[in-house]
């Protein structure tokens, strides 16, 4: 039996971008642990089947179609959670996407540089969404004197790569947003932490051959010799949402098999 500090039963949790991949893995761990989980996604394409899957497993969730980069949608999301539960204990900002292009044309590459719209899109989907989510729940958590915020970043926050300029910039910015809010909100019983995953392929949506290549490549490129399993990020998020992590705030925890140190 786990110590009571690790319990999250009946905690209320919002997870963005949770219809698939890492977000789905996080939502599954919390739902299985007895938390009340709301998941958001931009469309119902994956969200509706997800809700049906969780319902069939006996771990029902609340699905909400919303744009996590839109402040009005964030207000509606939080209002929906408050109407359903009366409180929000945990916010997990999980949205993310990348466009790999150089800043300017590189001799001999033949590739086009990143555009203004692509720059803004990647910043919005990786950084602005967390800013808006934190702003949407901040006043509520401060009034309650309690809350847990978990931002999902990536190992690119620590280590840049060619043609990864905007993605790395956004993820590094998310780490600083996390640190700054942790200091602003510490006096109000709110912790703000960040998880930076490495390579976590989604077997439900990715091409099987691509996953096989990732697994093979990881044997030599990742110090622990393998890719991550989606559930592992959820387990770390569970710790950060629980009372077991009550004395931790402002941290970015890398879960990448040692990749960001290699």
The first and second tokens of residue 127, run together, are 């950084």
Classify strands 62-65 and 90-93 as parallel, antiparallel or unpaired: unpaired
Catalytic residue among 167, 188, 239, 247: 167
The answer to whether 8 and 33 are in contact (CB under 8 A) is yes
Gap between the Cα atoms of 246 and 35, Å rounded? 18
Active site annotation includes 167: yes
Burial label for 84, CB within 10 Å (0-12, 13-18, 19+), is middle
The first and second tokens of residue 56, run together, are 């069939």
Give phi and psi for 232, each to the nearest 5. -65, -35
Instruction: Give me the active site residues, please.
Output: 167
């Amino acid at each position: 039996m786990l110590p009571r500090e690790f319990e999250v039963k009946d905690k209320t949790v919002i997870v963005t971008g949770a219809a698939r991949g890492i977000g789905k893995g996080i939502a599954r761990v919390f739902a299985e642990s007895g938390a009340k989980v709301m998941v958001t996604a931009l469309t119902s394409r994956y969200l509706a089947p997800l809700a049906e899957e969780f319902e069939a497993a006996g771990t029902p969730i609340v699905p909400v179609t919303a744009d996590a980069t839109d402040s009005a949608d964030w207000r509606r999301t939080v209002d929906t959670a408050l109407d359903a539960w009366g409180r929000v204990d945990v916010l997990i900002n999980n949205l993310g996407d990348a466009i790999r292009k150089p800043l300017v044309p590189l001799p001999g590459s033949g590739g086009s540089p990143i555009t203004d719209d692509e720059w803004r899109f990647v910043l919005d989907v990786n950084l602005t969404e967390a800013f808006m989510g934190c702003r949407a729940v901040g006043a509520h958590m401060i009034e309650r004197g309690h809350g847990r915020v978990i931002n999902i970043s990536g190992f690119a926050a620590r280590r840049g790569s060619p043609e990864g300029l905007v993605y790395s910039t956004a993820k590094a910015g998310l780490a600083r947003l996390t640190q700054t809010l942790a200091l602003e909100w510490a006096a109000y019983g709110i912790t703000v932490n960040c998880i930076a995953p490495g390579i976590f392929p989604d077997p439900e949506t990715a091409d099987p051959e691509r996953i096989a290549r990732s697994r093979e490549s990881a044997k030599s490129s990742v110090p622990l010799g393998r890719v991550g399993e989606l559930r592992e990020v959820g387990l770390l998020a569970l710790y950060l949402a629980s009372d077991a992590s009550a004395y931790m705030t402002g941290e970015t925890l890398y879960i990448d098999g040692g990749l960001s140190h290699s």
